[in-house]
Structures are given as C-alpha cells and as structure tokens.
Amino acid sequence: MSAQLEVVDVRGLVLVQDAGRPGHMHEGVPPGGALVPEWLAAAQRAVGNGAEAAGLECYGRMELRVLGRGAWVSVGGEAFRVEDGERFQVPAPERGVVRYVAVDGGLDVPRALGGRGTLLVARLGGWEGRVLARGDVLPLGGEGGGARCPPTEVVSWTDEVRVVLGPEPGRFGAGAAEALLSSVFTVSPISNRVGMRLRGPRLPVTDSGEALSGPMVRGALQVPVSGEPIVLGPDHPTLGGYPVLAVVIRADWGRLAARRPGDSVRFRAVGVEEARALWRRPGLV
C-alpha cells in the first residue's frame, strides 16, 4: 500500500496549501498559497521538506492517521515521529488564526496549474478543490530526504504592519494616508483568504470605486465607498476597481494574515528600498 494520510476527524475548515501557483494572474488565477507563508515553510523545514511541498492549513482541530509507512510530522513547527497506523491530534490554533501540518515527503495531491494548493473560489487544486472532510485519504510522497530543522519563531507577534503608500493617492480625500497611519484598526470577523476586512475610522475616498478595473496584488489595501479598508489575501481577485491607498510589504504578509478577528492592527509607512531589504532578511520564505 502506498503511503497515505487519513482524516479520522475534523472540526473546522482545513485546506491543502503550498507555496502557491504564480504566473497565472493574466489568466485570472490568483497566486494562492498559504495564508501565513512563513508558518507553512517552517513546518516543512521541520520535517525536511522543500518550501514547495504541500501541507495542511488548519483553522480548527483534527485527528489524522499515517498509513503505509512511518513518518515525521510537524504540527505548528514542532516535529515528531508517527509510526504506521498511528493516530495523532492537531489542536485548534491557540495563537493566530491558523496552524500548519506537514508530513515528510509532502502531500502528493495532483498539481493544478503548477500548484497543489486549494483555490476554493474556483474549486481548483488541493483535494478535489474543497475543504477536507472526515474519511478523506490523501496520498503522501516518498519519505523526505532533507535535514529536519528545529522550530523557529518566523512571525514576530506585533500589531505593527508595514506598508508602501500608493499607488492611487489622487482617488482619496485629504488626510487619508495620515488617518491610515495614525489609527488603530481591528480585524473584522468578515475576513477570509480573499481579503481581510478592517474596522476603524473611515478613510476618505473621493470616487465611488467605479473606475476602470486594474491589476491587483496580495497586500493591496483597497478602500470601498464605506471607507473601511480591505487588505487582499492570497486568493484575491486579479482585477479590482476600488481605490488602493497602500500595499502591505511582502515581509509582513504573515504578520497581518495570522491575526484573529478582533486583533488590533497599526500601519507604518516604509519606502520601496526598505521593503526590499526587509524581504531579503535571512529566515523569511
């Protein structure tokens, strides 16, 4: 029997995710990938997998069983050995909104447009394009040959998120950028992998958001007519018409996305060169 990972029980949303499927934005397909890329990458390193391997993105708790061989498993970055037929528990996230599970060799689900991650809005990738359910049995790759790494803290837990201002300041009223940078926002419960909605002071917008649609990227901070910002996530639409006041820097994607509903968020502006330097720091994905 080939190696498999069985879902014995699941309570809450669980998806297969990986490092994403870049290169298809022109076809209307968002890059996807892990909500908190640093945490998934750390889980994969803990069991000796490469950064491209697929794992589980868990918003609730679950029970799993390895079949066909023993395996090294990482839950939240902590690696441990599981023997053939043995069950193990994945607790609900305690810090942050998700927890990641990696198994050495990775989840060998079919590739779709170059990636294995689930894109729910298109029912594409992952396991049959859907959330996992009790009784699902996922194929595993061969035993990982890489060196296992100890757990590391890869997302600093602070409410400060850095942004590059722009690119559409002309679509906002006076003081919009200042209000963004001087206010405290909270994460709305109406948030998902498409976008994180933030509650706080209304940011002044001078148009109705009906301009011609333009290309969007993860981290773009859109402001609809309500004045409450939406930060685009990994499954964001590839085009959008709402004005964009700022863009969250790549190094802070995980710092923002890991936050739970009700958590606070403050924004600080940095320049493009600083944003690039922060992304090049060792330890980031």
111-162 pLDDT tens trace: 999 999 999 999 999 999 999 999 999 999 987 655 666 666 566 678 999 9
* CA separation, residue 136 to residues 10, 13, 63, 181 (Å): 10, 14, 12, 45
| pLDDT band (50, 70, 90) for residue 3 | very high
On whether both 221 and 259 belong to a single domain, the answer is: yes
Q: Which of 105, 139, 173 is the last residue of a domain?
A: 139
On whether both 16 and 111 belong to a single domain, the answer is: yes
Is residue 145 in a domain? no
- Using DSSP, state whether 61 is helix, strand or coil: strand
All residues at 6 or more sequence positions from 153 whose CB lies less than 8 Å from its CB, including other chains:
none
On whether both 128 and 165 belong to a single domain, the answer is: no
Residue 107's pLDDT is: 98
For the chain, how big is the Rg over CA atoms in Å? 19
Nearest CA among 197, 4, 20, 186 for reference residue 105:
4
Residue 166: burial class (beta carbons within 10 Å; 0-12, 13-18, 19+): middle
On whether both 167 and 220 belong to a single domain, the answer is: yes
On whether both 8 and 135 belong to a single domain, the answer is: yes
Residue 145's pLDDT is: 56
Average pLDDT score, the chain = 92
Q: Which domain holds residue 219?
A: 160-279
Is residue 284 in a domain? no
All residues at 6 or more sequence positions from 284 whose CB lies less than 8 Å from its CB, including other chains:
38, 154, 251
Average pLDDT rounded to a whole number, residues 204-225: 85
On whether both 9 and 133 belong to a single domain, the answer is: yes
Is residue 223 in a domain? yes
Residue 216's pLDDT is: 95
Q: Which of 76, 105, 139 is the last residue of a domain?
A: 139
In the chain, which ranges are continuous DSSP H helix? 37-46, 176-182, 253-257, 272-279
Nearest CA among 156, 191, 157, 164 for reference residue 180:
164
Nearest CA among 144, 115, 155 for reference residue 45:
144
Residue 76's pLDDT is: 86
Residue 144's pLDDT is: 63
On whether both 175 and 127 belong to a single domain, the answer is: no
Average pLDDT rounded to a whole number, residues 39-60: 95
On whether both 174 and 263 belong to a single domain, the answer is: yes
Domain count for the chain, please give it: 2
DSSP code for 250: G
Q: What CA–CA distance (Å, rounded) separates 108 from 226?
A: 43
Is residue 148 in a domain? no
Is residue 151 in a domain? no
| pLDDT band (50, 70, 90) for residue 210 | low
Residue 241's pLDDT is: 86
On whether both 236 and 117 belong to a single domain, the answer is: no
Residue 33's pLDDT is: 96
On whether both 185 and 100 belong to a single domain, the answer is: no
* CA separation, residue 50 to residues 54, 55, 145 (Å): 9, 11, 10
**Would you state the structure tokens that stand for residue 272, as one six-digit string?**
């493009």
Q: What is the CATH number of the domain that holds 201?
A: 2.40.100.10
> pTM, whole model, 2 decimals?
0.92
Residue 202's pLDDT is: 95
On whether both 123 and 180 belong to a single domain, the answer is: no
Residue 158's pLDDT is: 84
On whether both 167 and 102 belong to a single domain, the answer is: no
Q: What CA–CA distance (Å, rounded) separates 31 from 20?
A: 5
Q: Which of 108, 139, 170 is the last residue of a domain?
A: 139
Residue with the bigger pLDDT between 226 and 55: it is 55
Residue 209's pLDDT is: 58
